[in-house]
Amino acid sequence: MNLIRMKGVNKQYKNGVTAIYDLDLTIEKGDFVFIIGSTGCGKSTLIKMLYREEKPTRGKIIVGGLDVAKLRNGKVYKLRRKLGVVFQDFKLLQKLTVYENVAFALEVLGLPKSEIHEKVLKVLDLVGLKNKAKHYPTELSGGEQQRVAIARAIVNGPKLLICDEPTGNLDETTSMEIMKVLEEINKLGTTIIMVTHDTNIVALMQKRVILLDSGRILKDYEKGTYVHEGV
C-alpha cells in the first residue's frame, strides 16, 4: 500500500526559483527511503511539502490518505499527528528534561498523564535513554540529544518519520548509532524518509535511495542496489 503518492508536483518559490519540477514519487508503507543529492537540489523542499511546511505550486501529494496540497492551514495539525519530524538541530526545549521534552508532544494533544508516562518510558527505552530521563538536553551529547528528538517524534506512534539530515551534526560513530535506532523503529513498522548528505551511511544501509538533481529525480535505486558513486 502506498503511504505517500506524489504526482506532477511542482514547487516554485515566490522569488521565482523553482525547486521541484514535475515530480512523481510513491513510497510504500514500511519503507526506509534515503533522499540524497547536492545542496540546492530540492531535497529539503521535497520533505517540507510532505509535512506541509511548504505547499506545492502544482500537483498532488497524498500522505496517509490526506490530500496535503489541499489541506487548509487550520487543518495541518491533522497531518502532523500522523507523522514525526526530526531535524539536524534537534529542536529540544532546553528548560525541560528529557522526559518532559518527549512528554510535551503528548501533553499538547491532551493525553492523560498515566498514558503519557507509559508511552514516554517505552519510547525512551526504545532509543536507549531510559536512564537519562531526568537529564536536561545540555547535559547530553549530540547523539543523545538527537535520540531524544527521535523519541519525541515517534512517541505518538506515527506511520511516517521524516528525518531532515539527522546525522548532519554528528560524528561517524554517533551517526551509525542513530541509524541503528532508526532501523529499529523502521522494523516496528514506521515508514522512514531520511534526507542526508552522508553517502557513506547510505551505502552502508542499503535501502531505497532517491537521487535528486535540480528538482528532478535523477535516479531511484531499489533496496540493496545503491553503490557509492559520488554525486
Partner 1 sequence: MKAFRILSRNIRDSFKSVFRNFALSLASISCITITLIVVSLAIILTYNVNNFASLVEKDVTIVAFLDVDITDEETDKVEEKIKELDNIDSYIFRSKQEITDEMMESSDIFDSIMSEWSDEENPLQATFQVKVVDIEKIGDVADEIKKIENVSIVKYGEGMVEQMVSVFDSIKNVSFVIVIALVLVTAFLISNTIKITIFSRRREIEIMRLVGASNINIKIPFILEGLFLGLIGSIIPVLSTIYGYSAIYKKFGGQVFTPIIQLIKPEPFMYFVSLALVEIGILVGMFGSWRAVKKHLKI
Contact flags string 87-126 toward partner 1, x per CB under 8 A: ----x-x----------xx-xxxxxx--------------
Minimum CB separation of residue 142 from partner 1 in Å reads 18
What is the sign of the dihedral through the CA atoms of 142, 44, 35 and 151?
positive
Helices 142-154, 113-126: crossing angle, 10 deg rounding: 130
Walk across the sheet containing 66-67 and list its strands. 18-28, 2-12, 58-63, 66-67
Contact flags string 57-76 toward partner 1, x per CB under 8 A: ----------------xx-x
Which of 205, 196, 108, 194 is closest to 155 using CA atoms?
Answer: 108
Confirm or reject binding of residue 78 to partner 1 (CB under 8 A): yes
Contact flags string 121-160 toward partner 1, x per CB under 8 A: -------------------------------x---x----
CA distance linking residue 126 with residue 47, whole number of Å: 25
Considering the complex, state which of residue 112 and residue 224 has its C-beta at the smaller distance from partner 1. Answer: 112
Q: Could you tell me the three cell numbers for 208?
A: 531505497
Q: Residues in the site for partner 1, rule: CB under 8 A?
A: 51, 73-74, 76-82, 84-85, 91, 93, 104-105, 107-112, 152, 156
